Amino acid sequence: MMKEKLRGRIQGGVGFITLLVAEVMLFQGVEPFASWFYCFVWWAYILIVDSVIYELKGDSLIINRTREFLWLIPWSVVIWLIFELMNVLMKNWYYVNVIDSLWARWLGYFLAYSTVLPGIFETTELLDTIGLFKKKRSAKRVHLEKKWLKVSCMVGVLLFVSLLLFPRFCFPFSWLGFIFLLEPVNYWLGGRSLLRAWERGNWQRLYHLLLAGMVCGLSWEFWNYWARTKWIYTVPFFEELKLFEMPMLGFLGFLPFAVECYVIYNFICLLGRREGWERGSESLVKGSPLRYPAQIALAVGFFIFSILSFRAIDTYTVNSYSSFLKDLDFITPQLIKRLEEMGIRTTDDFLRTVNDQETTEDLSQELQVSKDEVKEWTKHVRLIALKGLGIENFYLLKKLEIDRVSKLVPLKPEKLHQDLMLLVQTDGKRKEVPTLSMVKIWIQEARKQNAETL
């Protein structure tokens, strides 16, 4: 017991120090924290919350149910990849400033996506541990009829069909479909189920999940906003009013998303004949766990599915990669080499170096070039950094004589998008054209920066 208590406190301390160091190093641009910020802060969050839970009740997921915690990790990746594949159709978000190394990028995907279920479930257990919504444990009971369970499954199918046919308008259904489709199945087959809890008058778990979804959602968006490698939303009809990078109404989606993750994971545990991550005896699953041949087949399937999904993300969702000075053609190779010797390797490093008039003059003297030339480089680099626009998109815009942020300000998104489409068609080298939503975001950010400098 004493060893576990010490372990819990060390775990919490490691999490707190990691969180603090990651925050400081991000703003200093220090690697690997700058590019891996999301992974550092979310794994730190999970360690901290788990240690708090253990301190409060002497039992936590990582310390006492380690095997179940480890089981969560690959399934967290699988579940989130399902939503990533939906996004290929919906195009509701894209990634910028992604690590350019393939193996490091895919490892980053795995480590980032593996935090989804642990983050939600640890937060849910913390809310339960502190006794929130305790009175809801004996609320009004619900009587369930089989016909309504069948109707629920049909609604789930219809939601996904609607999403496939009309993704631009039906994208919110992605956060609801699995609840209607799989929750009745969990109930019928004896798995852990919210419906069964409602039959007993227990609504506490639902409220915990909804609140955990909002807590995690706010944390996801807060940390994402400051990160270098990040996602940007292009949700139709809600592009104007945002908190961090998320449209305001979009935060409502985190509530059912947490419930959906819970339902999907309960279904997975049902198929694998596992009790799940929670303490308690709500699950009626009987039978031995999957045998080794089935587990090996499952692991192979997970590997293949992950590789194919990662490839799809690279192709359809990643919009820009890390920007290095060596990939720029408006600075000579000799000067780039000297900049790298000074520790200036990325466009972010460059912008931190020329953050005012004095440092611009210092750099021009160090490189023995004119101050005006350094200022010209700076204008190009600021466009590259604009909302993670990236080097490839910069050179595409440059062909239209758009080589600085100020030139985006007066443009109309629809006209620029048409020009880019025509350019890509005639160029023949690039297959993907920036979407209209991306172009709108670039121009909005350009106008915002222009207004701040006036």
121 vs 76: CA distance, rounded Å: 11
- The C-alpha atoms of residue 244 and residue 253 are separated, in whole angstroms, by 15
Which range (54-68, 188-202, 271-285, 294-308) has the least confidence?
Answer: 271-285
Q: How far apart are CA 49 and CA 129, in angstroms?
A: 11
CA–CA separation, 378 and 355 (whole Å)? 9
Question: What's the pLDDT score for residue 409?
Answer: 95
The partner residues of 388 in beta bridges, in order of sequence, read none
Q: What is the mean pLDDT of residues 37-62?
A: 96
Confidence of residue 241 (pLDDT cuts 50, 70, 90): confident
Whether pLDDT at 51 is above 90: yes
Q: Are 345 and 325 in contact (CB under 8 A)?
A: yes
In whole angstroms, what is the distance from residue 375 CA to residue 355 CA?
11
**Segment 73-126, tens digit of pLDDT:** 999 999 999 999 999 999 999 999 999 999 999 999 999 999 999 999 999 999
Q: What pLDDT is stored for residue 384 in this prediction?
A: 96
Residue 346 DSSP SS3: strand
Query: What is the reported pLDDT for 137?
Result: 57
Report, as an integer, the average pLDDT of 367-391. 93
Q: What is the dihedral of CA 144, 145, 150, 152, to 10 degrees?
A: -40
394 CB-near residues (< 8 Å, 6+ apart): 380, 383, 384, 403
Residue 138: per-residue pLDDT? 58
pLDDT over 90 (residue 128): yes
Q: Is the pLDDT of residue 45 over 60?
A: yes
Q: Which residues are CB-contacts of 450 (< 8 A; sequence separation ≥ 6)?
A: 405, 406, 409
- pLDDT for 428: 61
Model confidence pTM above 0.75: yes
User: Which of 417, 416, 390 lies closest to 407 in space, CA to CA?
Assistant: 416
> What are the structure tokens assigned to 328, written together?
């720029």
Worst-scoring range by mean pLDDT, 219-223, 247-251, 283-287?
A: 283-287
| CA 82 – CA 151 distance, rounded (Å) | 24
DSSP 3-state of 114: coil
Structure confidence at residue 330 (pLDDT): 92
Q: Average pLDDT over the chain, rounded to whole?
A: 90
Kindly indicate the confidence band of residue 279, based on its pLDDT and cuts at 50, 70 and 90.
Answer: confident
Range from 29-33, 282-286, 438-442 carrying the lowest mean pLDDT: 282-286
The pLDDT of residue 288 = 63
The alpha carbon dihedral of 303, 306, 311, 312 has a sign of positive
What pLDDT is attached to residue 275? 79
Which H or E element spans position 53? Answer: helix 37-57
- Output the 3-class SS for 349-394: HHHHHCCCHHHHHHHHHHHCCCHHHHHHHHHHHHHHHHHHCHHHHH
Q: Nearest to residue 321, comparing CAs of 82, 108, 105, 113?
A: 105
For the chain, what are the domain ranges? 1-64, 65-316, 325-453
In this prediction, residues 391-414 reach a mean pLDDT of 94
pLDDT computed for residue 414 by the predictor: 95
| Range 365-376 average pLDDT | 91
363 Cα distance to chain centroid: 37
pLDDT above 70 for 347: yes
Q: Mean per-residue pLDDT for 245-262? A: 92
**CB-count exposure of residue 218 (10 Å: 0-12, 13-18, 19+):** middle
